[in-house]
């Protein structure tokens, strides 16, 4: 596929007129999908798709178009010529774009690691064997994700990633289920077995009579999946330089006042080297291997897209148009996972959160609901599942003065979205022990 894209890009260059430049973004995948219910396969299939976004530039004017490609070079070149003609016809009618910025220093890269995924059949046999005698529902998605960039200046970038993502729930009754995820680049049966054993143990605990507790402040443990919901909400403008300039960032207080900071244990980075997203972007800029977002609880760097760089006279660090992290990593702590319940003592063990939003954005105050397997802990032991609760808490409390510990163990979490294409967003997160976590109902 890389050879196809390289030939396509070279041929596209030959179709340009004088004073024209193109930027081409290539996104493709070959994915296997399997849906299951009651621990049986209900739907299975494969998807191969190739898309091209073409930006035709003349001076400060540019026009953008998109093609679904077939993989047949002759056919695709004919269609690309038609798209070029369409974009070319639009350029005289478009105004100059004052914030247009694209890479002019040629920096070509090639990253094509080996495919270490198991055959889909082998992975499913292992997974479904472990879920026998349980009501298991979920989806398995795996395969290659490919990204490419080319421009008429001669720059060529290519990246392939081969990942799997199995997202499943063991269902008990009504809103009581254990939701799990196992994702990565290399399948390990032992790791899956460990996750499944934990899930089955929690499923058995869900059979206890559920409790409802009074609103108030409680010590909690947020499993990595629950903490991921907090981080995902924070990504809504939290690290965007444009949001900072527009005064929309939820972290404005942290930027303006030293007293608003997080616990020194918090080291949050955009780490492209451990993620799935490409280390280049649609204007041809190369991303740093890592961008420190929060260091020792203090705001470090913002994500700067090319457009924001031009608008605010800054240097870009290769951020996407949304200026949101795509490969988030939170540094592990030194707290053993095996000691979580004992240290929690009397509190709440939370596996998942959902429906999160800001209740007070300038204060970075978040609200949301517990979901699935949330448990009440007494004297260091789980004694009952809890009915759904709503929390309302600021980030400065959760991951600031009330943060007690981060676990040594971290989970690699791949975004499960498949709208139009498989998502390349990922997070690598520990669990968190937090004191005085506020529940409002």
Residues 195 and 222 in one domain: no
**Domain-located, residue 211:** no
Last residue of a domain, one of 145, 179, 205: 205
Last residue of a domain, one of 205, 233, 253: 205
**Domain-located, residue 349:** yes
Query: How far is the C-alpha of 140 from the C-alpha of 148, rounded, in Å?
Result: 25
DSSP annotation string for 334-393: SB-GGGHHHHH-SEEEEEEEEEEEEEEGGGTEEEEEEEEEEEEEETTEEEEEB---EEEE
Q: Which helix (H) or strand (E) holds 202?
A: helix 189-205
What 3-state DSSP class applies to 418? coil
Query: pLDDT tens, 370-383?
Result: 988 999 999 999 99
What number of helices (H) and strands (E) belong to the chain?
10, 18
Q: What is the CATH number of the domain that holds 171?
A: 3.30.2290.10
What 3-state DSSP class applies to 408? strand
Residues 315 and 195 in one domain: no
**Domain-located, residue 37:** yes
Contact criterion met (CB below 8 Å) for 25 and 51? no
Query: pLDDT tens, 252-261?
Result: 999 998 889 9
- Which range marks the domain in which residue 15 is found? 2-205
353 — pLDDT class (breaks 50, 70, 90): very high
Please give the tally of structural domains in the chain.
Answer: 2
Residues 141 and 65 in one domain: yes
Last residue of a domain, one of 161, 181, 205: 205
Secondary structure of 136-196 in the HEC alphabet? EEEEEEEEEEEEEEEECCCCEEEEEEEEEEEEEEEEEECCEEEEEEEEECCCCHHHHHHHH
pLDDT at 174: 81
Average pLDDT over residues 298-317: 97
**Domain-located, residue 210:** no
User: What is the signed CA dihedral for 336, 405, 269, 365, rounded to 10 degrees?
Assistant: 140
**Domain-located, residue 318:** yes
| Residue 355 buriedness (CB in 10 A; 0-12 / 13-18 / 19+) | exposed
Residues 280 and 387 in one domain: yes
Residues 38 and 58 in one domain: yes
Query: pLDDT tens, 46-74?
Result: 999 999 999 999 999 999 999 999 999 99
Residue 45, pLDDT > 90, answer: yes
pLDDT at 352: 95
Query: How far is the C-alpha of 285 from the C-alpha of 318, rounded, in Å?
Result: 5
- pTM score: 0.94
């Amino acid at each position: 596929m890389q050879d196809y894209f390289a030939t396509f890009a070279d041929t596209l260059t030959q179709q340009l007129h004088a004073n024209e430049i193109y930027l081409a973004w290539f996104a493709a995948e070959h994915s296997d999908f399997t849906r299951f219910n009651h621990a049986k396969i209900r739907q299975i299939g494969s998807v191969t798709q190739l898309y091209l976004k073409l930006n035709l530039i003349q001076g400060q004017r540019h026009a953008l178009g998109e093609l679904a490609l077939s993989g047949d070079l002759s056919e695709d070149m004919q269609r690309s010529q038609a798209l070029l003609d369409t974009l070319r016809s639009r350029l005289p009618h478009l105004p100059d774009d004052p914030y247009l910025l694209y890479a002019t220093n040629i920096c070509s890269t090639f990253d094509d690691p080996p495919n270490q995924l198991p055959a889909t059949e082998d992975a499913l046999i292992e997974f479904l064997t472990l879920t026998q005698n349980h009501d298991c529902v979920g989806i398995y998605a795996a395969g290659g994700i490919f990204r490419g960039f080319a421009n008429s200046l001669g720059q060529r970038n290519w990246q392939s990633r081969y990942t799997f993502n199995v997202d499943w729930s063991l269902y008990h009754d009504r809103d009581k289920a254990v939701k799990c995820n196992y994702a990565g680049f290399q399948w390990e049966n032992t790791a899956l077995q460990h996750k499944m054993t934990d899930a089955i143990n929690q499923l058995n605990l869900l059979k206890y009579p559920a409790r409802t507790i009074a609103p108030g402040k409680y010590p909690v443990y947020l499993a990595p999946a629950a903490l991921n919901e907090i981080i995902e909400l924070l990504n809504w403008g939290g690290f965007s330089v444009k949001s900072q300039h527009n005064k929309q960032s939820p972290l404005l207080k942290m930027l303006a006042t030293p007293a608003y900071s997080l616990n020194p244990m918090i080291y949050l980075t955009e780490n492209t080297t451990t993620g799935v997203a490409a280390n280049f972007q649609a204007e041809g800029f190369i991303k740093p291997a890592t961008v420190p977002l929060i260091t020792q609880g203090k705001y470090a760097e913002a994500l700067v897209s090319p457009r924001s760089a031009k608008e605010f006279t800054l240097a870009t660090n290769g951020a996407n148009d949304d200026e949101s992290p795509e490969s988030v990593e939170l540094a592990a702590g030194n707290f053993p996972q095996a000691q979580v319940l004992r240290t929690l003592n009397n509190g709440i063990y939370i596996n998942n959160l959902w429906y999160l939003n800001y209740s007070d954005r300038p204060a970075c105050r978040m609200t949301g609901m517990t979901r699935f397997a949330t448990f009440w802990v007494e004297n260091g032991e789980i004694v009952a599942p809890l009915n759904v609760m709503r929390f309302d808490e600021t980030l400065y409390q959760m991951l600031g003065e009330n943060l007690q510990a981060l676990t040594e163990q971290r989970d690699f979490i791949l975004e499960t979205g498949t709208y139009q294409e498989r998502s390349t967003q990922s997070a690598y997160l520990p669990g968190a022990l937090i004191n005085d976590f506020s529940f409002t109902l």
